[in-house]
Chain A
Amino acid sequence: MLATISRRGVLTGTAALLASTALPRLALAQGGGRLIVAADSEPRQLNPAIVASNGVFFISSKVIEPLAEASYDAGGLKPLLATGWEGSEDGLSITFTLREGVSWHDGTPFSSADVAFSAMEVWKPLQNIGRSLFANLEAVETPDPLTAIFRFSKPTPLQLIANALPVVSSVLPKHVYEGSDIVENPANRALIGTGPFKWGDYRPGEYYLLTRNDSYWGEGLPHLDDIVFRVLPDRAAAASSLEAGEVHLAAFSSVPLADLDRIAKVPGLSVVTKGYEALTYQLIVEINHRTEELSNLKVRQAIAHAIDKDFVLDTIFLGYAEKATGPVPANDPTFYTPDVTTYPFDIAAAKALLDEAGYPEGPGGTRFSLRLLPAPYFAETRQFGDYLRQALAAIGIDAQIVPHDAAGHIKAVYTDHAFDLAIAPTVFRADPAISTTILVRSGQPDGVPFSNQGGYANPELDALIDEALVTLDRDKRVALYKDFQRMVTADLPLINVADWSFTSVVADSVTGVATNPRWVVSNWAETGLSE
C-alpha cells in the first residue's frame, strides 16, 4: 500500500510530462474496479459440482472453488481448498489435507464434511464426469475437520484423480444442500461457495453480477470489486462491444478468427492465446465402423492420407492450432508421444489404398458415397466439413453433408448412429482417462454424446484402457497411454486432425490474465483492472 501511494505521489507530480494514457494504469494498479466480460450463453444448470463443463465454470468457478487448480508450475497443480493429497500404497485410498480458515459466503466454516458430502452425494451420483471417474469411490472418511480420506473399491491412480481435480472437485456447502433435491436446490441459481466472488445478481438474457468476497481466504485477494458477465449471443456484437470499450474481455474465441487480425490492431486490445492449455479442443473425424467401407482399415488410412493438415491449419484455424498426431495433444506435458503412425498428405497413396481395398473408381471417378455430419456448434467443425467433402472428392469418395442443428446432430450421431463420418470437437482434459479413452472404448450405451458411438470394438485396445485405469505406478501408466496413442493411430478408430485452443481478446487494462492453463475457467482472484 505504501509503495502505491508514494508512487502515485511521484507520478502526479510529473503528470504533465507523461502521456495521459499511461498514468492511471501505473497509479491505480490493482485498485478494484468492475471487470465486464462477454458471455455467449447462459447455462441451464450453473452448479459446477453437477455440471462440470467449461460454459458453467466460466461463470461459476469464481464463486465455487475446486480442491486444486491447474498450474503452469511443475506438478501442474496449485492447491486451493486442499493443501495436500497423498495416495496409499495399494491405491485404495487418497488422503486430502484441507485448507484452514476458509468459510462459506454465508459465514459457515468450511470443513471436511463439505468435501465428503460433495464427493458422495454430488460428484459420484450426479456429475457428468464424476459419475464415471468416481464410480469406485466407496466412502469418504472425515477423521478431523481438515482431513478427508477417499476410499476406493478398486486401485485408483492418484495421478488420474489429481489431474481431474480442477474439473471434478468443486465443493458445495453441505449445510445448504443436505436433505434437499440437490439438482433443483435454489442455491443452484444463487451459488454459495468459498470463492473470491459472491453471487450478486442474474438478469436472464442480460447479465450475471458477481461481487467481491471481502472475507476470502487468499490474503489481499481478490483484486476486483466485481465481475459482470454480459450476455452477448451475437459474435459480431461481442467484437463491437470490445471495440467500443463496453467490454474488457471476450473469451472462448467469441470474436471470430477472421476478425482477430483487425481487433488485434485496435489500440488497447490484445489477442491472447495463453490460458487454455488444459482445455485443448481436438478436431476429430468420427467414423461409423458399421459402414462396410469404413470397417476396412485401408479405407480409413486413405481418408487420413487425403487430409492436408497444413491447409486446414492455415485456412480454417488461421494458424491458431497445432497439427494433431494422435489422441493426445502435443501440448500435454505428461502423456504425449510423437512416436506414432502418421499419415502424411498423399493423394496418390490414398487412391492406391482404396484400390487395394477393392473400391475402384467407378464412372465419373466416384468409388462410393458417404454421409458426412459436421458438428454445427463450432465454426471450425462446419468449415472442416466443407473441406473434408472436397478432400474426399479428390480421392473418389463422394461425401454428402447432412446438415443438422445442435440438438439434431447429437441425436443423429450419438443415438441414431445415422452417419458414416462425423466431425466433432472433443476436449482433452489433462488425462486420457477423463474424456479421451471413452472415444474409442467399446461397450458405450447408445445416446452418450462424445463417446464411441461408431461401433468400433478392439479387445486389445479395450484391455489396454482397462489396465491403465488401475495402474498405480506413474511411469508405467504414462507408458501405457503412449501405447494407447500408438494403437489408436495404427488402427484409426477415429482420425485426429488438429488440436486447437481458444483465443481471448482482452483490454490492456486487465491485469493477471492467463496466469494458469485453465485461466478462463479459474477463479480470477489475481485478476485486476488498472484503470
Chain B
Amino acid sequence: MARLGRVVLARLAGSVPVLLIVLVGVFLLLDSAGGDAVDAYLLSMGGGDAQMAAELRTRYGLDGSALSRLLFTLGQYARGDLGWSIALNRPIGPVIAERLPNTLWLMGSATALSFLLGSALGVLAGRRPGSLLDRVLSGGSLFLYSIPSFWLGLVLAVVFAVQLRWLPVSGIETIASGKAGLARAADIARHLVLPVAALGMIYLALFLRIMRSGMAEAWGQDFTLAARARGLPDWRITLNHAARNALLPLVTMLGLQSAAMLGGSVVIESVFAIPGFGRLAQEAVAGRDAPLLLAVILTSALMVVIANLLVDLAYGWLDPRVGSGAGHD
C-alpha cells in the first residue's frame, strides 16, 4: 500500500511541469486572441462609453501586462485559490464544484458504456474473425464512429424526445422539481440517457476494433493453441485466454480516451443544455475569461493525469509482469 502511495505521489509531482506548460500555453493563446473580457462584456450590453470600458478594465485587473496577470493567477494557484471569474462575476472554485459532477457523470457513463459494450462486442467479433457477425459489428461500429457527435445527439433527441417523448430533450434534471434522494437520482439518470448514448456510441467503435484485432491476433498464438490442446471449452479460451490478453491495449486506450471524451463533451453539453465543464470552457473562451479558462484547463488536466494513473495501476493488476518490473527498478 505504501508503494502504491509513493507511485501516486511521484506521478502527481511529475505532472506539475506538464501542467505548467499547458497553463502558460493556454494563457498565451487566449491573450493573443483579439479582444478581452471587457470587449465581450460591452458587446453583451449593446455598447458603452470609453470611460466605462477603462473603469471596467481597472476593476477586473485587465490593465496590467500579460506577464503580471499570468503570474498573479499562478500565484493564486500556489495558495490553493482558483481565483475570480470575470465573465461570471463569481469565485471560480464553487463554479468548478457545480459543473464538474455533471461532466464526470456524463463522461464516466459514456466511457463505461463505450468500454463495456465496445469490448463485449469486440469479443463477439473477435471470436471468429472474418465471420458475418464480425463484419456486421465492425462495419456498424465504423459507421457510428464516422458520425459527428452533435448530429447523433440531435437525431437521438428528435426521435426519442420530440417524436416518441420517452425521454427529456435536454437539461441535467427537471427544473425546480423539488425531488430528492432516489427520485432525483432517477430523474438525472433519465436526463443522461440520450447524451450518454450520443457520446458513448461514437467511441464504442474504437474499443470494439482494438478488442477485435487483439483477439484475432491471440488466436494464432501458442498459448491459445495450448489451451485448446488441453481440451478447454471454447468459451473459456475466448474469455480467460484470448480476451484477457487483448484487454491490455484496450486499457491504454481508455486512458487516452478520457482526454478525448472531455473534448467531445463540449459539443454534447451544448446540444443537451447540460451545465458542464465543456460548456464552461467554451463560455470562458467566448468571454475572454482567462482565469476561468485556466482553472478549467487545470482541473481537466488533473483529471486526465488521474485517469492515466488509474490505467497504469490497472495494468499491474491485469498483467503481473508490469507491476513486478516497476518494483525491481
Contacts and interface: CB of A to CB of B under 8 A. Distances in A.
Interface of B: 33-37, 39-50, 52-53, 59, 87-90, 95, 98-99, 154, 157-158, 161-162, 165, 168-172, 175-176, 270-273, 275-276, 279-280, 285-288
A407 B41 CA distance: 8
A204 interface: yes
A411 B36 contact: yes
Contacts, number: 161
Interface stretch (A18-26, A237-245, A310-318): A237-245
A205 B48 contact: no
Contacts of B157: 237, 240
A131 interface: yes
A448 B48 contact: yes
A237 B271 contact: yes
Given A128-B47, A445-B50, 15 more contacts: A53-B45, A128-B52, A131-B52, A205-B279, A209-B175, A232-B170, A237-B270, A240-B154, A243-B162, A244-B169, A406-B40, A408-B39, A411-B34, A446-B50, A447-B53
Interface string A228-252: 1011111011001101111000000
The CB with the most chain A CB atoms within 10 A, among B47, B87, B288, is that of B47
Contact of A43 (B33, B42, B44, B50): B44
B273 A201 contact: no
30 contacts: A44-B88, A45-B45, A55-B44, A56-B45, A128-B48, A128-B49, A203-B275, A204-B95, A204-B275, A205-B98, A205-B279, A205-B280, A230-B175, A232-B170, A233-B270, A234-B273, A240-B154, A240-B161, A240-B169, A241-B170, A407-B288, A409-B35, A410-B35, A411-B34, A411-B35, A412-B34, A435-B47, A447-B50, A448-B53, A449-B43
A228 B47 contact: no
B272 to A, nearest CB: 7
Contacts of A240: 154, 157-158, 161-162, 169-170
- Across the A-B interface, give the 9 residue pairs with the lowest CB-CB distance, nearest first: A205-B275, A407-B35, A408-B34, A411-B35, A445-B50, A407-B40, A450-B47, A410-B39, A53-B46
Given A41-B44, A451-B47, A407 B158 contact: no
A44 B276 CA distance: 18
Contacts of B88: 44, 204
A233 B278 CA distance: 13
Contacts of A228: 175-176
A56 B171 CA distance: 22
Contact of B169 (A131, A203, A246): A246
B279 A410 contact: no
Contacts of B172: 206
Contacts of B50: 445-448
Contacts of B176: 200-201, 207, 209, 228
A530 interface: no
Interface string A297-321: 0000000000000000000000000
Interface string A393-436: 00000000000111111111001100000000001000000010
A51 interface: yes
Nearest to B87: A44
A353 B205 CA distance: 61
A473 B243 CA distance: 89
Given A406-B286, A448-B50, A237 B170 contact: yes
A236 B46 contact: no
Interface string A16-60: 000000000000000000001000010111000001111110000
A72 interface: no
A259 B311 CA distance: 45
A407 B287 contact: yes
Given A237-B169, A243-B162, A405 B286 contact: yes
Contacts of A245: 165
B39 A411 contact: yes
B150 to A, nearest CB: 8
A411 B41 CA distance: 12
A368 interface: no
Nearest to B33: A408
A334 interface: no
A405 B33 contact: yes
